[in-house]
Structure 1
Amino acid sequence: MLKSYGFLYSARQCNFLCYDLGFTDNGGQIYMTGTNNENYIFGYLGDYLYHNLPNGEGMYWPIVQGVSTYYGGYGLTYDSMEELKEQFRNELLKNPTIDFLEEFKKERKSSVNRHFSYYVMSAFLCEEIVNKKSFNSLFALIYSGNEGESFFQNLKTILNVDETNFHETILRLIKSK
């Protein structure tokens, strides 16, 4: 039927999972997903923040994805925060010399259990901020610049974490329950 209206659709072309993860349309007014999950918080939340907060271009996407993961589970697998921490603990057992600062800086080139590690580490940081500070403190980290220009400066202000203690902080967060 879609083809008769000029729309071509193939879930196999969307991603390796063979379903459409979702997207926002109509200026952020409509969210559509092919995940067969009416509670797809991960995808909805990231798009909601981008379309409903001012200056979407100034948002640091890893933190937006971190907030989405914290509240909605990891986007591709729905893994919860506890499951993600367990996966990172298992990665540490396999690779005890892993440097989480170095992995974070690799961006999409770093992966633990098929997850983009810097999104997951961002979720761990978001959890810490919400638990130790406030939800509103997340906004300073979200607005760290499109390329993260002020990410470590903002993280230092919020949690007293910078590049010198980033690795130790992530270690502590993945070991926490």
Structure 2
Amino acid sequence: MNKLLVSALGNKDSGKSYTWNTLFGVTVRTGKKKRRLYFNDCEYVTVFLISGSPEERKKYVGNLMIAEPRIVLCSTQYCESSKKTFSYFIENEYSLFVHWLNPGYSDLDRPYFDYLGIMNWLLSQQSLVGIRSGKLEAKPRVDEIKEYIYGWAKSRNLIINECE
């Protein structure tokens, strides 16, 4: 697949938006255009960000999107309706890379059982899923996301080098 969804999945106040803020190094919000995600001083890739989850905003993800970006970063609420958001990306031929923030920053100090069956459902869709604690420092999980995006984009010649 030649399109990528990177999702931070979690309960309300689990650290989804904080993940994106850490990734970009500034506070970011959902935009109406693509933005640059820098890997170093020279290399970047363009991404589209949906920071506030469609589920929390009570909006269909397709209405928040711009014309089919190659890489989308999207917060997703841990709730039954998140399957509708993920289904949008699956139907539009995106590969899925999901970090479930479990426990989330504001959750109890123990991981939650996947009582909605979202993890098994995502794995049945050939998604990559990782469980990361939203209570721990964000940098290690953000570095993992950045490295994955870099490798994915590099193999598709999407990395732009502005120093050349």
| TM-score > 0.5, shorter chain as reference | no
Give the TM interval when normalised to the shorter protein.
under 0.3
More helix by share: 1
TM-score normalised by structure 2 residue count = 0.23
Larger Rg: 1
More strand by share: 2
